[in-house]
Amino acid sequence: MFAKTSAWIQRNLPTREQMERSRWIRPFANRVLRSDLWRFTRRSVPRGVALGMMVGIIVPFAQMLFSALLCLPVRANVPVAALTTFVTNPVTTPLIWILSYNVGSWMLRVDAMTVVAPVNKAMEHSEFGDMLQWLTGATVVTAFGLVVVAVVAAAISYVATSFTWRFIVAAKRKRRLTERRVRRERESDQAKFPAAGIE
């Protein structure tokens, strides 16, 4: 399972050359291809995952372009953000839209029960609802749900990626320290018993 996932990531992770050749990204290539946006660090990778999650769920078109451009202000990892937009695909998109409709419907019903109903008023008396509809290509209820689901998914994925990154780094560090200790013990034993070391 891990080997298949790793192979899929290697196959779909965009390279700098692919981004450079893209006619949509070419006008912004000098900014998007900056080396600091392509480094895999403990801060840029979780940001890239969260950003890719948001763009993948909210924006139904040109997801790689939007994720690459939005990496600039938040200093997120471009290839990770572009890869994470694959969270929406023909299998997952209907499920995400159904969930978003239910979440949006429930939240707007709860909001309507309050005295002020700020979300419903913002949707009716401003261009916020129209903008959401235009951006997502969905009805107001589903569009609002998509935004809520995207924000929650981005927050969860940011925290999960941060912890996973720390765990992986800690495991590598522990393995290196163990290897170094074993090597020192071996060298110490060979220094004490040179004959045994020759055998």
pLDDT at 9: 66
* Range(s) of the domain holding residue 18: 2-198
Mean pLDDT of 15-20: 71
Question: 129: Cβ–Cβ under 8 A, 6 or more apart, which residues?
Answer: 122, 123, 140, 143, 144
193: pLDDT strictly greater than 80:
no
Single-letter amino acid, residue 195? A
CA 105, 53, 50, 175 dihedral sign is: positive
For residue 13, what are its two tokens? Answer: 């992770």
Report how far residue 156's alpha carbon sits from residue 151's, in angstroms, rounded to the nearest whole number. Answer: 9
Contact 121, 83 (CB under 8 A): no
33: pLDDT strictly greater than 70:
yes
Model pTM? 0.73
Contact 46, 14 (CB under 8 A): no
Average pLDDT, the chain: 80
| pLDDT band at residue 87 using 50, 70 and 90 as cut-offs | confident
Mean pLDDT of 75-89: 88
For residue 105, what are its two tokens? Answer: 């419907």
191: pLDDT strictly greater than 60:
yes
Mean pLDDT of 32-36: 77
| pLDDT tens string 140-161 | 788 888 889 999 999 999 999 9
199: pLDDT strictly greater than 50:
no
pLDDT at 135: 67
Give the best-scoring range by mean pLDDT among 19-28, 82-91, 111-120, 121-130: 82-91
Q: Number of folded domains in the chain?
A: 1
Query: What is the percent of the chain where pLDDT is above 90?
Result: 15
